[in-house]
Structure 1
Amino acid sequence: MTATPDISADSAAVEYGGKVLAVEPGGNEPIPLEARHGTPRGLFWTWTAPNLEFATIFVGVISVAYFGLSFWQAVGAVVIGNLLGAVAHFLLSAEGPLHGVPQMVLGRLAFGHKGNILPATFMAVMCGVGWFATNSVSGAFALAGLLGITPLAGLIVIVVAQTAFAFFGHNLVQRFERLAAPILAIVFLIGAVIIFSKSDVSAGSADGGFSMGGFLLAVGASFGYTAGWTPYAADYTRYLPPTVSKMQTGLFASAGLFLSCTLLMVVGAASMTIGARTSDNPTDAFTANFPSAIADLTLLAIAVGAIAANAINVYSGAMAFVTMGFTLPVGAQRALVSVFFGVAGFLVAWWALADAAASYEAFLLLVAYWIGPWLGVVFADRVLRREPPSLELLYDRKYANWGGLAAFVIALVVSVLLFCNQERFVGFVVRAVPELGDIGAFVGFVIAFIAYLLLARSQVEKSLQQYG
C-alpha cells in the first residue's frame, strides 16, 4: 500500500501559501493545512469570469441559428441545461476542502487508481486541449477585429497570455479571475442592454413552430458547456480550509457558473433576432450593432474572457495529466505540463480557425458525451459511501474499482451508439426518432449510475472496511 502523503510536512506548498506571483509547486498532492486560505465567497468570481466570454454567447447563437429555436424556446433550453450542470458543480465543489485534493484525485474513489486514468485522459485532452482551443479561437477573432490583425496573430497573443497564467498556477489564476470578473460583467451588461434594445424576442422559430429535437440539442449543448467545468470543481476549492461551510462552498461556485452562463447564452440567443449576420468573423457579427466604442470594448472583453477561461482550462488540464500517474523529476511538474497543453491547444485552435461554428457545435456535444457517464459513476459512488473517503485510499496505487470503469465505458458506448446526434454519425435510436435531438449525455448518466450500483457495490463496501 502506498503511504498516505503527509499533508503537514510539504514545506514548498506551505511556503507557496497565498503568494500570487509565485509558481505553484508540485502536482496533485494534498494541500497542507498550513497552506489553506481563502473563503467560499471568492468562488463566485472564480466561476463567473471564465464564462464571461464569446464561447458562452455562442451557445445561445447556435440554439437559434443552428437548432432552429425561437428566442424563448432557446431561453428555456439553456436554463435547463445550465441548471443541471450547476447542480453537479455544486455537489463536487463542496467536496474540495475536505482533503484538499484535485477533482480527478477524488475520482479514484469511483474508478480506482489505474481505472481513473481513462476519465483523467478524457479531461486532459478534451478539456485541457479542446476547451483551450475553442476559447482561443473566439479570443483570436476578437483581437483580429479589434486590432486589424490576422486571426492567427491574435491567436498567438491569446495563447501566450493564458498559458502564462496557468504556468504560475492556482493563486494567480484565482486572483486574475476575481479582478477580471467585475470588469467583464459591466462590459457585457452594457452589450446586453444594447442587444435587447434592438432584438425582437417575440419572433418565432425558423420553422414557425416548436422542434423537440432542436430543443433537446440546445439543452445538450448548454449542459455540455456548463457541466464541462465539473471535472475541475474541487481544483479550485481544495485550498480552502476544511472548516468552511460545504453549503457556501457549493453555492458560491455554482451560482457564479449558472448566472454567468445563463445571462450570456440568453444574450446570444437575443442577438440572433436582430437580423442577418454581417460578417464571417463571429465576434464582429455579434458586435456589428454596437456603437464603435462599445464594439471595441466588447471585443477586448471577449479576448480577456477567453484568457480567463483558458487559464482555468490549461491549469486543470495539466492537473488531470499529472493525476494520470506521469511524474517529472522537478518540483513544478504541473507548471511544465501547463506549457505543453498551451502548445497543443494552440495547434488545435489554429486548425479550428477555418470553421469555428461547426467545430464548436460538435465539440460541445462531444464534451457532454463523456461528462454524463462520468458524473453518473461519481454520484453513484457517493450514494454508496456512508462516510468521507480515506486520504490513504486516494493515493494507494493498488486500489482498484473496475466496476466503476466498466460502468463508465458501457454507458459511454451505449449512449453514443444509440443517442448521439452529430453531423458525421447519428445514433441508431435517433435515426428512427429524430425528435430526440441529442440526449446522449443524459442517457449516459442514467446508465452509468445504475451500472455502478450493480457492478461496484461490493468493492465500495470492501474499501470502506479496509480504509475506514
Structure 2
Amino acid sequence: MPLAHVPGGVPAGTGPDVFDGRMPSAPGDLRVEGHGIEPVPENRRYGGAGRLFTVWFAPNLTMTGVFTGTIGGTLGLDFATALTAVVVGTLVGALPTACLGTWGSRTGAGQLPLARLAFGRSVTVPALLQWFSSIAWDALIGLFGGDALAQLCGWPFWFGVLVLMAGQGALGVLGYEAVHRLQTVMTFVLGTAFALIAWRLLDGVHLTTSSTVTGGDRAGAAVLTSTIALSLSLSWAPYASDFSRYLPSGTSRSRMFGCALAGLVLSFVAVQALGLWGASVLTDQTAGGVRRLLGGGVVGGFGLLAVALAALCSNAMNDYSGSLAAQTLGVRLPRPAAAAVAAALGFPLVLWMHAADTTARFQNVLLFVGYWIPGFVAIVVVDWFARSRLRDGDTVDLAVELARPQAGLPPVLAFVGAFAAAVPFMDTGLYVGPVARALHGADLSYYVAFVAALALYAPPRLRRVRSGTASDVRTESAV
C-alpha cells in the first residue's frame, strides 16, 4: 500500500509520479535519483553499514565546525576545559542521531517521512522546521565555503557563494548515491587537508592553558560550549535515516550505530579541537585565517579548496534532506526540483549573515535552528518504542503502522510545550533566559526540551498502547 494513500501519509491525489521515481540500483549509480518519500522496496536496497562512517564523517570537516570550536576560547575557557565540554556535548548529540539512523534500513524511509508515525498529519510542523533548518545550515556552512572559493579564485564574495550553491544544488539533485560517493572520496581528501592545517598550527600557535573566567562564569561558559557542540551533532538527527534508507533490512543495526557514531564524534571533535587550538589566528573570516596560516602557493590554495569542498559536501546533504522535508509537507515538487529550491534559498541568507556582525549572527542561527530538535527526537523515540511493543518483535510494516489510529494533537502539544519549557534556559545573542542568566550563561535548553517532551508525551502515548491494543489489532486485520 503506497504511503501516499494511507492515513497520515502525504495528501491524497498527489500520486506516485511526484513522491516515487527512479532509484539508484547499486554503488556508483550516479544517475539522477527521482525517488522521493515513498519507502524504498527491499528488492532495491544495497550497500553496507560502513557507508555510514564516511557519510557522517566527511560533511563535518568544515570551517563551520572549526569556527564553532573557537567559541570556547572567546568565552574565556582554557583548552583542556573547552575540549572536555566539546567532547561531552558532541557525544550526547551524536547518540540519538546514530540511533535514528538505524531506522532507515528497517523501514526504507527517510527521517521526516518516518515522523508521520508519531505526528500523523501534524507532521507538517516539524517538516516545516526541518525545511527551514536545512536552508539555514546551507547559509551557516556556505558562509565559509563561499568565502574560501572567492579567495581562491579571486572572485567577489557573492559570486563564490553563488558557485558553491550551484554545485551543492547539483549534488542534491543527483541524490542519495552521489552524496554517498562524494563523502567516501572526501573523507580522504578533507582528512588530509585538515591534518595539514593542524600540522601548521603546531608551528607557532600555542594552546591556551589558563581560563580568563572563574567560578560560576567558568562553569557557565563550559556548559554553553558543550551545548553548542551538542547542537552540531544533534542537528543531523532529523536527517539520520535519509542516508540509510537504501541499506538492506538485514544490515547489522549495531554496526550501523557504531559506524555512524564514530563518524560523527571523530569529525566534530577534530574540527572543534582545531578551532580551539588555533583560535588566535582563526578569526571571523576563517577562510582568510586558513590562508594566513598555510601561506601562499600550492599549500594555501589546497587549504582554501578543502574549505570549499567541505562546504559542498555538507550542504549537498542539507539540500537532499530538505527535499524530503518539503515533500513531507505535501509540496508537489519532484525530489530533484525540491533540492534545487533549497539550495537557491540558502544564497540570500548567506549574504545576510556576511553583511554585519558575523559572529553574533552565526551563533544565533546555529542555536535557533536546533532548539526544536530535542523535543522532536523525544517524541519520535517514544512513539517508536510504543509501536515496537505492539509489534512484539515483528518486522516493521509501514503500511500497517500508518493505518493505525494517528493522534496528531498530543505530539504537537508536547512539541510546543517542550520548546516553551526550554525558553528560560536559552542563551543567545538575541535572548538570554532568566535561568540561563542566573546560571552564568549556561544553556541547558536542549536537555530541558528533551525531558519536557518525554514528560508531556510519553504518559498519554503509552496509555494508548495499553488501552488501544485491541482496536489496533482490528485495524491491522482490516489492512
Fold conserved between structures, TM > 0.5 = yes
Q: CA deviation at 1:163?
A: 0.3
> Counterpart of 2:53 in structure 1: which amino acid?
F
What CA distance in whole angstroms lies between the structure 2 residues aligned with 1:430 and 1:257?
A: 28
Residue among 197, 206, 209 paired with 1:203: 209
> Contact 2:36/2:324 (CA < 8 Å) preserved in 1?
yes
- Match of 1:64? 73
Q: Is the 8 A contact 1:105 1:394 kept in 2?
A: no
Instruction: Give the corresponding residue for 2:263.
Output: 256
User: Could you tell me which of 134, 150, 160 is aligned with 1:154?
Assistant: 160
Matching residue within 115, 119, 122 for 1:107 = 115
Residue 45 (structure 1) aligns with:
54
> Partner letter of residue 380 of structure 1?
V
The residue aligned with 1:26 is 35
Distance in 2 separating the partners of 1:266 and 1:276: 14
Match of 2:422 among 391, 397, 415: 415
Post-superposition shift, 1:360? 1.6
- Structure 1, gaps ≥5 residues long: none
For residue 255 of structure 2, what is the amino acid of its counterpart?
A: Q
Amino acid across the alignment from 1:366: F
Residue 217 of structure 1 corresponds to 224
RMSD of aligned alpha carbons: 2.5
- How many angstroms does 1:396 deviate by? 4.6
In 2, the alpha carbon distance for the partners of 1:203 and 1:61 equals 14
Report runs of 4+ in structure 1 exceeding 6 Å deviation.
none
Q: Residue 340 of structure 2 aligns to which amino acid in structure 1?
A: V
CA 1:324–1:194 in structure 2 vs 1: closer, same or farther (change >3 Å)? same
Match of 2:445 in 1: 440
The residue type equivalent to 2:98 in the other structure is F
Compute the displacement of 1:372 (Å): 1.3
Q: How many residues align?
A: 454
Question: Does the 8 Å contact 1:184/1:305 carry over to 2?
Answer: yes
CA contact (8 A) 2:20 2:35 kept: no
Structure 1 residues 391, 245: CA separation in 2 closer, same or farther (over 3 Å shift)? same
Matched residue SS, 2:46: coil
Q: Which residue of the partner structure matches residue 12 of structure 2?
A: none
Query: 1:123-134 residue pairs with structure 2 within 5 A?
Result: 123-126=130-133, 128-134=134-140
* Structure 2 Cα separation of the partners of residues 208 and 15 of structure 1: 55
Counterpart contact for 1:14–1:34, Cα < 8 Å: no
Structure 1 counterpart of 2:50, one-letter code: R
Task: Describe the shift of the 1:208–1:146 C-alpha distance in structure 2 as closer, same or farther (beyond 3 A).
Answer: farther
Structure 1 residues 142 and 15, CA gap change in structure 2 (3 angstroms): closer
1:398 CA drift (Å): 6.8
The residue identity in structure 2 corresponding to 1:98 is R
Question: Could you say what secondary structure the match of 2:40 adopts?
Answer: coil
Greater alpha carbon shift after TM alignment, 318-327 vs 353-362:
353-362
Deviation of 1:291 (Å)? 3.4
Matches within 5 A, 1:249-288: 249-272=256-279, 275=280, 281-288=285-292
The aligned runs of 1:26-425 (5 Å cut-off) are 26-65=35-74, 67-112=75-120, 114-126=121-133, 128-207=134-213, 211-272=218-279, 275=280, 281-292=285-296, 293-328=298-333, 333-354=334-355, 355-385=357-387, 386=389, 387=391, 389-393=396-400, 395-396=402-403, 399-416=406-423, 418-425=424-431
Write out per-residue CA displacement over residues 221-248 of structure 1, whole angstroms, 9 at most, x where no aligned residue: 1111111011111000110000110011
CA deviations 1:355-403 (Å, max 9, x no partner) are: 3322221122113311111112122223433246541155559733421
**Distance between the aligned counterparts of 1:360 and 1:89, measured in 2?**
23
> Where does the alignment leave 5 or more consecutive residues of structure 2 unmatched?
10-15
Is the contact between residue 167 and residue 335 of structure 1 (CA under 8 Å) also seen in structure 2? yes
- Note closer, same or farther for the CA distance 1:419–1:14 as it changes in structure 2 (3 Å cut): closer
SS in 2 for 1:203: coil
Cα deviation code 1:395-432 (max 9, x no counterpart): 5597334212211110011212x11112222213223x
Query: Contact between 2:24 and 2:177, CA under 8 Å: does it hold in 1?
Result: no
Structure 1 residues 14 and 183, CA gap change in structure 2 (3 angstroms): closer
